[in-house]
Structure formats: structure tokens, C-alpha cells
């Protein structure tokens, strides 16, 4: 069984087997404290409960702490990235359908699909990217 140390300042665990290496490199934290195996098992790598992340409690021990709400800038950035990915995927669906229409070779189902995908793309561009969570439209059926 390995022994681990927890550092509240680094918010990470250190295996005791590597302590000499960390000390030789000058990176062993001053606040590293040995932690019980149960504590490591709970906070050392498992998934955090929803809305929580690993942090330190008032005594410097690992604990689940509430994740801060995203800032307006983070919301806008994340939503913009997601919207752009959805637009790219929609464009990939639209292109061959549009080619079939342009060449006069589209079936009625392809024409209907093209209109649905274009409406979806318009709806994506109208999403309020400042809202969390954003109200994403549903993509047309494949």
C-alpha cells in the first residue's frame, strides 16, 4: 500500500515513494501532510460529485468544494466554441445536399433535409451566447 501526502497549496497528492525526488528538485511543498488511504481513495482521482471539485478545507485537508459559477466571459467563450462546432457539423451536412440541389439531382427527401439543416444553422446563429446554459436548437434527424 502506498503512502500519499496532500498539499493544500498545490491541491494535489504526492506519493511518498517520490518524496526524495521532489525534495532534490526543490518542489516538495512545505504544507505536504500525510493522508490516510481512505482520504486518497476519495479525493485522489475519482470523479467529483456534480458541481464540486477537489479543494482544501479550513484545516488544509482535501475536500469537495463548490465550483464557482462561470464568468460572463467564460460563458460567452464556451458557448461560442460550441456554436462554431455545431455550425461546422451543420455545414458538413448541408454541402452535399446543396450540391445535389445545384446540380438538379436532389430527391424530394434531400430538398426537405437541406431546408431543415439550413433552418437549424440559422437557429444556431440566433442562440443567445451569453446565457448559461445556452438554449441550443435540436439538429435535424440524420
Instruction: List the domain boundaries for the chain.
Output: 4-66, 72-125
Cα separation of 56 and 88, whole Å? 41
Model confidence pLDDT, tens digit, residues 13-65: 999 999 999 999 999 999 999 999 999 999 998 889 999 999 999 999 999 99
pLDDT of residue 1: 66
Cα separation of 61 and 35, whole Å? 8
Q: Which residues contact 64 (CB under 8 A, 6 or more apart)?
A: 43, 48, 49, 52, 53, 54, 55
| CA end-to-end distance (rounded Å), the chain | 51
- Give the model's confidence band at 121: pLDDT under 50 very low, under 70 low, under 90 confident, else very high: very high
pLDDT of residue 68: 92
Helix H or strand E encompassing 107: none
pLDDT of residue 137: 98
Model confidence pLDDT, tens digit, residues 59-111: 999 999 999 999 999 999 999 999 999 999 999 999 999 999 999 999 999 99
Amino acid at each position: 500500500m502506498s503512502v500519499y501526502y496532500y498539499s493544500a497549496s498545490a491541491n494535489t497528492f504526492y506519493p511518498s515513494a517520490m518524496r526524495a525526488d521532489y525534495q532534490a528538485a526543490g518542489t516538495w511543498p512545505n504544507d505536504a501532510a500525510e493522508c490516510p488511504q481512505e482520504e486518497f481513495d476519495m479525493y485522489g482521482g475519482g470523479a467529483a460529485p456534480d458541481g464540486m471539485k477537489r479543494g482544501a478545507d479550513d484545516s488544509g485537508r482535501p475536500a469537495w468544494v463548490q465550483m464557482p459559477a462561470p464568468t460572463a466571459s467564460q460563458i460567452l467563450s464556451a458557448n461560442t466554441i460550441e456554436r462554431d462546432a455545431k455550425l461546422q457539423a451543420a455545414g458538413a451536412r448541408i454541402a452535399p445536399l446543396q450540391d445535389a440541389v445545384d446540380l438538379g439531382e436532389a430527391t424530394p427527401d434531400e430538398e426537405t433535409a437541406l431546408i431543415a439543416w439550413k433552418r437549424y444553422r440559422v437557429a444556431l446563429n440566433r442562440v443567445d451566447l451569453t446565457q448559461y446554459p445556452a438554449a441550443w436548437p435540436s439538429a435535424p434527424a440524420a
